[in-house]
Structure 1
């Protein structure tokens, strides 16, 4: 295949890539074991970039088609929807940059890598959505004060339907891929696109109101769309800030407890977890019988590690340590961080 053809396929996400295989030894002696696995970070970020590229293309085409009808019809409702679709397409840019940066290997400064840049991208996305809401709101209020004749109602209706279909396609795409790679930013953006689709249908309602002889229906719908966008701003900001403050879903700790319950001899004392990008890192303290030999205690931690990765595909690393039963005292032995990757 020609170099240009290969680059095109690579851009679309279908090109071949050499996924690095790495092995690392955990511990020594009887506990020593080696994992040789494909680094899941490469696969997931490639998949994320692929989703973002196609989302951008679909929304850009949708917004361009709607903008033509905005010029023809002078509809402020469609203008608000188009501004939001343009803003939504623009959100692909910070997400794209974030996924690319997340692929960089850890460094002496960023020892966990740059996965957290996805949270920063989420903040940028919230700001973009907020800006689009302010612009759309201003235009809607201005049109309420200074009404203008809305024409080409048939085209206006068609543009609203196109906006709904384009956004729903992007929503399904982003949510599906976001769940595959455990990216909160991508899933949130998918639900955001789904809400956009519903606001696009509101444009059709506005066109119907104008057709029935109520010209203010168009700017009123534009204002309602603006309020919906502000709602998305609040929802997205809350989700992103939760991740940035190391918040996790309640079910995560429940899964850790469930995994620990499957390991005889291990009693969970404490469990903490946080997301770094779309990868989960856990710190776990367990209590075992103090009379157990060190080799047997290590077998328990190995079994627990296996259960954790089995129950939690998004888990990237588990740091397991021994603690006293009352969690008030640590025993001096620490089970080093086991870095495992899942597809």
Structure 2
């Protein structure tokens, strides 16, 4: 796959066309998995390891920013708090790309005597900033909706309001199709999952249309009630994102990562894993592995086994940046990780 950034006009039909299914493009030998903790605003390693993945984040930002801008114009005209909540939701999703972008740029800096492991951890800091952005958007949206319930005001321009809800749906759907398409292209199951998240977000925009219809039927409180429902949805994203970010900050990983290590080691029968640990530093995976080999083996043979295992690990785990493999006593206990 070319790593050059393609021209938008030349690729637009390709992006939104019908491509191979999720697993059709997976290369031979790779054992991919999707972290169950992957969530909104927290970009998975398989996305950030390619220029194409970062490029997908950029265009998702552009689409959602334009969608939110158009919605805010209609908010000013109609006074709808439901649409305001949806626009805030889209603004929050769009602005999360900014701290991530900065984090990616810093993470690409070479290690220094002070930061021997590089600046990959800055992505965890970006994740906390993102959680704060989403939480702030939920508080603003909730406050506006509750205030409108207590102090009802007329909602006008219902036709424009419904149209803005549809724009929100179409914007999120465009991002969904885009992320799914690029995710399949770069073999990133996480980006595909993020695309389906964006598709779910589109349903909150359709709720704005439902609220406009309720107001048109004479139920004035339909608009703030929909605004509250969207606020609840945003709070759900806050919880999911905070859990994911804190897990990674505390060196938590998906158990499937250890499974991937053992799967790779199974291709090297002479090596028995005694201990397997791994953690993320930014969007790169670092593994520490202890293996047991026959004590009668010459040192040169043991080194060959270690090199073979290292090769298998990098072959099966694309996000792996470093594998520290050491020899352990042959009768050592099995790994607890």
Give the aligned partner of residue 251 of structure 2.
246
2:226 to 221, 225, 238: 221
Give the aligned partner of residue 84 of structure 1.
89
| Alpha-carbon distance in 2 for matches of 1:81, 1:238 | 23
Q: Return closer, same or farther for 1:183/1:45 CA change in 2, 3 Å cut-off.
A: farther
2:262 to 253, 257, 265: 257
Q: Return closer, same or farther for 1:156/1:48 CA change in 2, 3 Å cut-off.
A: same
Structure holding more strand per residue: 1
Contact 1:76 1:219 in 2 (8 A): yes
Give the aligned partner of residue 142 of structure 1.
147
| Alpha-carbon distance in 2 for matches of 1:154, 1:211 | 9
Q: Return closer, same or farther for 1:183/1:237 CA change in 2, 3 Å cut-off.
A: farther
Give the aligned partner of residue 314 of structure 2.
309
Secondary structure at the aligned position of 2:49 is classed as helix
1:150-165 to structure 2, matched below 5 A, reads 150-165=155-170
Shift of 1:168: 2.9
| Alpha-carbon distance in 1 for matches of 2:187, 2:284 | 8
Which structure 1 residue ranges, 5 or more long, are not aligned?
Answer: 1-9, 16-39, 330-343
2:235 is aligned with 1:230: yes
| Alpha-carbon distance in 1 for matches of 2:112, 2:180 | 31
Give the aligned partner of residue 122 of structure 1.
127
Give the aligned partner of residue 289 of structure 2.
284
Contact 1:164 1:201 in 2 (8 A): yes
2:57 to 52, 59, 80: 52
Give the aligned partner of residue 19 of structure 1.
none
Which structure 2 residue ranges, 5 or more long, are not aligned?
Answer: 8-44
Q: Residue deviations 1:269-328, cap 9 Å, x none?
A: 110011111111110000000000011111111111111111111111111000013437
Give the aligned partner of residue 32 of structure 1.
none
Relative contact order (alpha carbons < 8 A, sep ≥ 6): 1 or 2 greater? 2
Instruction: State which structure, 1 or 2, has the greater radius of gyration over its C-alpha atoms.
Output: 1
Q: Return closer, same or farther for 1:14/1:106 CA change in 2, 3 Å cut-off.
A: farther
1:299 to 295, 300, 304: 304
Q: Residue deviations 1:163-212, cap 9 Å, x none?
A: 1221233345456667959798x788766644432211111111121122
Q: Return closer, same or farther for 1:72/1:132 CA change in 2, 3 Å cut-off.
A: same
Q: Return closer, same or farther for 1:79/1:93 CA change in 2, 3 Å cut-off.
A: same
Secondary structure at the aligned position of 1:101 is classed as helix
Could you tell me the TM-score, scaled by structure 2's length? 0.79
Could you tell me the TM-score, scaled by structure 1's length? 0.78
Q: Which moved more, 1:175-184 or 1:296-305?
A: 175-184
| Alpha-carbon distance in 2 for matches of 1:95, 1:118 | 7
Contact 1:48 1:99 in 2 (8 A): no
Give the aligned partner of residue 340 of structure 1.
none
Contact 1:265 1:300 in 2 (8 A): yes
1:266 to 271, 278, 283: 271
Secondary structure at the aligned position of 1:112 is classed as coil
Give the aligned partner of residue 211 of structure 1.
216
